[in-house]
Each structure stands twice: as C-alpha cells, then as structure tokens.
C-alpha cells in the first residue's frame, strides 16, 4: 500500500506546499491553499517496475502535410482557430459567466451535426432539458446533436469509445469533471489536471476534436492550474461587456494557427450573429462633431479594424489626478501623457484623464498612440477633429511618430468606409503613395499634430493661436487649459 500523501495545493496556480499558509508564494494570492490527497492510484513501488519501450527516431527532413481540418460552419470561429478544428486537437475556451460561451458552442455543434458529422455535447453544469431549452430558443432543436449530462471522465470516455468516433466533443465545463484516479473534490487543481489529461489522451488516441469550457477568475484568467493551458493545443478567450452587444473571440494560444486573429460576434435574441465588417459596426453609433473623439485604423491579425477612441480631459479637484482607461493599456496612456507634457508643452498634471475604446474592443498594438494623443488634445482645447480622418502611428519617447505595419491595408479599409483623410507617420508616406483614395497628412513629430489641433481650437474663439504651424501653443507652456 502506498502511503497517503497530503499537501496543500494553491487553487489559483497549482503550487503545492507541505503545510498551510495564508498567502501563496508563487502567485501572491491569499486564502487559495486547500488540502488535497496527492497520492496516485498506482503506488510508486509498482510504477517504478514498469519497463520502458523503445520507439523509432526520425530526422527533420521528410514529407509534411497540413493537418486536416473540420470547418465549423462559422466563418468567424474558423478565422480564430486557423481554418477549423484539427483532428485530435483539444481547445480550451474561457470567458466571463453569461458572456455566451455555451451559446457559441451550441451553434457550432448544431452546424456540424447538420452537416452529417457525429457531435457530442457533454454538460456538467446543466441538465439535458436545460440544454434543449437553449437550443429551442436559438432555433436549433432539430440539429442531431447527441447530449448528455455527466461528470465522470471514465464514464464519458467509455461511452464515447463505442460506435463511430465523434468528430467534435464539447465538455462544459472542465471544472465540473472528476476522475477516480485522484482523491480530490471536483474543481480542485488535482482533479482539473487529471481530468484534462484523460480527455487529451482520448483525443490523441481517437482523432476526435475536443473543446473544453473553462471558468475564469476575477482577474479574467482561466481558473485552474496553469499547466492545463500548456497541455491543450489552443486557448481561446471569449471577451465582451455585459452592457455591449459585441463579443470578441480571441486566440491566446494556437499550435495550428495564428494568435493575433479575432472573431467578432453580435449577441441577439436568436443567439450570436457573425459580424463580417466589424469596422462598420463599431462606427455605427459614432458621435460626430464632438471634441475628444478620433478614429483609429488598427489591425487585428490580418483584418483591418476601425474603431473610435473617446477621451475626456477635465480639471481635477483632487491632489492626484485620476487616470482611467477602458480597452487600452494604462501604461501606454501614461507614456503618451508624459510625452505630451515633456515635448509638446501640454500640461495635464491638473486634469483628470479618461480614455475609452468604443464598442468594447480591446486594443493591444502601439499604433493607437497617435489617435489617443489626438483625442486627448482635442478634448483639452475643445477642438473638433475632422470627422472624415483616421489616425495611426506609434509615438516614441522623444516625441517622434514612428511607422507601423500594414499601412496600405489600414488606408484601404478607411477608404472603403468613406473616410477622406489619414494622419500617419512621415516615414510611411512612401508605402502609402500608391493609395490615391485618401488625402495623406504625414507628420514626423507629435508637436506638429498638437499645433494643428490647437489651431482648430483657436479658430473657434481662442485668440492665442500659434504663429507657426509647428509652434507649441503658449497656453500649453503656461499650463493653462
């Protein structure tokens, strides 16, 4: 008999300790250690007697072929996964509660089942009747999807091994699964790791594609041990705000495709609707003629996306001004504010600054620096920016506007949506010379942009207009708003 081994395992990161303590030294979280029995089902003395088998070694040279893929029938989902589901692959899908994970997977499985593939949906959180109610609401009750409400991994693997191998299996969710090989409660780190490992072995052995649904923590990270994300082939994040109808599917990890593609969906009464032109949707409720708004021409993977950046600069009554940002990196905002103050004379130390990306999209590329700076200065001087202009460019710490990638794609998308002008880096003029559909305003320094926006504000009634185009307004140097 193997001796029972008890340890305290962090339910956030999976770190193990010999005794209980209030704070996990690995991830820094408090009160996340729980006592678990880490004794395996097979004693160490028996496992050590197993003789290893030999296997053949191959060289790097040889014929390779693309992995066969199974199209889901949803173009946005296929875009994120890299063209469809690969046979034998395991995907982990995470997202906030109620964001629409089960709705997305119900639609995907129904489309595959209608195409003639065997699809199985295993729910560990809902009864079969509840899944049927969702399918009826979405108008998918006639799809031949095989349903089950089960949480035992051994029973699931035994059932799925009978008959034809399913092409797609959905496990909703991995935190509710449990296996007999470990003695821990469902949802603990040990159970999640062991259950995921058993399902991954089944997928690799049979060639079935498996989608695991994962819960997320309060920080937006997928709950459970971090090792599960390393075990699976792809990790997808379903993002969105409860007050917004837009949903963004983003690949965090993908062994068979890119990790910078996004899929855009709109939540409706009949489920998720694919958005083929996200730019038009994000700009559909644009507030024209309001200072502090600028349109950013961005790139998400291979897809150009136009989105509105909204800024509000207001005098503060607090000792420390507030800096709030939604949809963008707060550190990036702090850098842009520092460059505006150090090189352009824009004093914002006595103002609260708020920045928002309209539509619920999260921007990660530094090309949004120029659009954010334009929106901030526009709000400060109460100057309206041109409604037919787009902005993109990276701002360096010296105040120089640096070029960004895929300039022609950004300009082409802007021209398609009816924009007439583009403010871009001077060094990108040659790359964009072939695009005659837009009037290009190439700038080399952020000071030039600040002076142009300040001149617009002065034409609305400010008598302190700068004498030169590239001159910094005197009221910025004095710290006045």
Determine whether 259 is exposed, middle or buried from the number of CB atoms within 10 Å of its CB (0-12, 13-18, 19+). Answer: middle
Q: Each residue of 54-71: pLDDT tens digit?
A: 878 878 777 766 568 899
Instruction: Say yes or no to pLDDT of 294 above 90.
Output: yes
Instruction: Say yes or no to pLDDT of 34 above 90.
Output: no
Q: Each residue of 167-203: pLDDT tens digit?
A: 999 999 898 999 998 888 888 888 888 999 999 999 9
Q: Each residue of 202-237: pLDDT tens digit?
A: 999 999 999 999 887 665 566 555 678 889 999 999
Q: Each residue of 72-129: pLDDT tens digit?
A: 999 999 999 999 999 999 999 998 888 899 999 999 999 999 999 999 999 999 999 9
What is the separation, in whole angstroms, between the first and last Cα of the chain? 77
Instruction: Say yes or no to pLDDT of 435 above 90.
Output: no
CA–CA separation, 346 and 85 (whole Å): 51
In this structure, of 39-43, 142-146, 447-451, the range with the lowest mean pLDDT score is 39-43
DSSP annotation of 366 reads G
> To the nearest 10°, the Cα dihedral for 426, 430, 435, 439?
30
Q: Are β-strands 209-214 and 323-326 bridged in parallel, bridged antiparallel, or unpaired?
A: unpaired
Instruction: Say yes or no to pLDDT of 6 above 80.
Output: no
Q: Are 101 and 213 in contact (CB under 8 A)?
A: yes
CA–CA separation, 94 and 92 (whole Å): 7
Q: Are β-strands 90-95 and 85-86 bridged in parallel, bridged antiparallel, or unpaired?
A: unpaired
- Reported as a pLDDT band with limits 50, 70 and 90, residue 39 is low
Q: 16 has which bridge partners?
A: 9
> Residues of the chain with pLDDT > 90: what percent?
52
Mean per-residue pLDDT, 435-447? 85
- Reported as a pLDDT band with limits 50, 70 and 90, residue 481 is very low
Q: Are 212 and 93 in contact (CB under 8 A)?
A: yes
> Residues of the chain with pLDDT > 70: what percent?
86
Higher pLDDT residue, 249 or 45?
Answer: 249
The pTM score is: 0.75
pLDDT of residue 277: 86
Mean per-residue pLDDT, 439-464? 77
pLDDT of residue 287: 76
Q: Each residue of 127-153: pLDDT tens digit?
A: 999 999 999 999 999 999 999 999 999
Provide the b/e sequence for 65-93 (b: ≥16 CB within 10 Å).
eebebbebbbebbbbbbbbbbbbbbbbbb
Six token digits for residue 264: 């855009």
Q: 421 has which bridge partners?
A: 389, 439
Q: Are β-strands 262-268 and 246-254 bridged in parallel, bridged antiparallel, or unpaired?
A: antiparallel
pLDDT of residue 432: 67
Among residues 465, 472, 430, which one has the least CA distance to residue 451?
Answer: 472
Handedness of CA 17, 18, 20, 25 (dihedral sign): negative
CA–CA separation, 58 and 69 (whole Å): 25
pLDDT of residue 471: 43
Higher pLDDT residue, 163 or 374?
Answer: 374
Q: 285 has which bridge partners?
A: none
Q: Each residue of 263-292: pLDDT tens digit?
A: 999 988 889 999 888 888 788 778 787 899
Q: Each residue of 394-410: pLDDT tens digit?
A: 999 999 999 999 899 99
Six token digits for residue 47: 């496992």
* Average pLDDT over the chain, rounded to an integer: 85
E-strand ranges in 182-330 read 209-214, 234-239, 246-254, 262-268, 271-274, 293-300, 303-315, 323-326
Q: Are 350 and 316 in contact (CB under 8 A)?
A: yes
Six token digits for residue 385: 């920016």
Q: Are 336 and 369 in contact (CB under 8 A)?
A: yes
In this structure, of 79-93, 413-427, 433-447, the range with the lowest mean pLDDT score is 433-447
CA–CA separation, 371 and 392 (whole Å): 6
Phi, psi of 216 (to 5 degrees): -120, 155
């Amino acid at each position: 008999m193997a001796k029972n081994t008890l340890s305290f395992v962090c339910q956030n990161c999976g770190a193990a300790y010999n005794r209980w303590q209030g704070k996990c030294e690995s991830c820094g979280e408090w009160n996340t250690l729980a006592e678990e029995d880490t004794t395996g089902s097979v004693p160490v003395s028996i496992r050590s007697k197993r003789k290893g088998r030999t296997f053949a070694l191959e060289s790097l040279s040889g014929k390779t072929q693309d992995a066969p893929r199974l199209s889901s029938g949803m173009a946005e989902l296929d875009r994120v996964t890299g063209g469809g589901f690969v046979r034998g692959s395991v995907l982990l899908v995470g997202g906030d509660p109620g964001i629409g994970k089960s709705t997305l997977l119900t639609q995907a499985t129904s489309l595959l089942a209608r195409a003639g593939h065997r699809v199985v949906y295993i729910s560990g959180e809902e009864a079969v009747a509840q899944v049927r109610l969702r399918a009826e609401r979405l108008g998918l009750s006639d799809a031949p999807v095989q349903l089950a409400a089960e949480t035992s991994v051994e029973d699931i693997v035994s059932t799925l091994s009978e008959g034809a191998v399913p092409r797609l299996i959905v496990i909703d969710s991995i935190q509710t699964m449990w296996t007999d090989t470990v003695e821990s409660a469902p949802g603990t780190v040990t159970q999640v790791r062991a259950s995921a490992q058993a399902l991954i072995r089944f997928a690799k052995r049979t060639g079935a594609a498996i989608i695991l649904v994962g819960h997320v923590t309060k920080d937006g990270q997928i709950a459970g041990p971090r090792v599960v994300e390393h075990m699976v082939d792809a990790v997808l994040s379903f993002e969105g705000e409860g007050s917004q109808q837009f949903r963004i599917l983003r690949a965090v990890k993908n062994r068979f495709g890119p990790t910078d593609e996004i899929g855009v969906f709109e939540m409706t009464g009949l489920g998720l609707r694919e958005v083929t032109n996200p730019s038009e949707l994000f700009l559909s409720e644009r507030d024209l003629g309001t200072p502090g708004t600028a349109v950013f021409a961005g790139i998400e993977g291979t897809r150009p996306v136009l989105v509105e950046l909204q800024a509000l600069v207001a005098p503060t009554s607090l000792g420390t001004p507030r800096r709030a940002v939604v949809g963008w990196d707060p550190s990036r905002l702090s850098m842009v504010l520092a460059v505006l103050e150090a090189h352009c004379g824009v004093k914002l130390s006595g103002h609260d600054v708020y920045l928002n990306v309209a539509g619920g999209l999260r921007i990660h590329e530094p090309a949004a620096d120029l659009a954010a700076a334009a929106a901030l200065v526009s709000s400060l001087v109460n100057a309206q920016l041109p409604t037919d202009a787009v902005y993109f460019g990276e701002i360096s710490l010296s105040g120089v506007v640096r070029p960004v990638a895929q300039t022609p794609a950004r300009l082409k998308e802007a021209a398609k949506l009816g924009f007439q002008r583009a403010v871009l880096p001077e060094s990108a003029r040659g790359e964009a010379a072939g695009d005659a559909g837009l009037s290009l305003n190439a700038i080399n320094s952020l000071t030039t942009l600040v002076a142009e926006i300040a001149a617009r504000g002065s034409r609305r009634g400010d008598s302190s207009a700068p004498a030169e185009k590239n001159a910094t307004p005197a009221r910025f140097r004095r710290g006045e708003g």
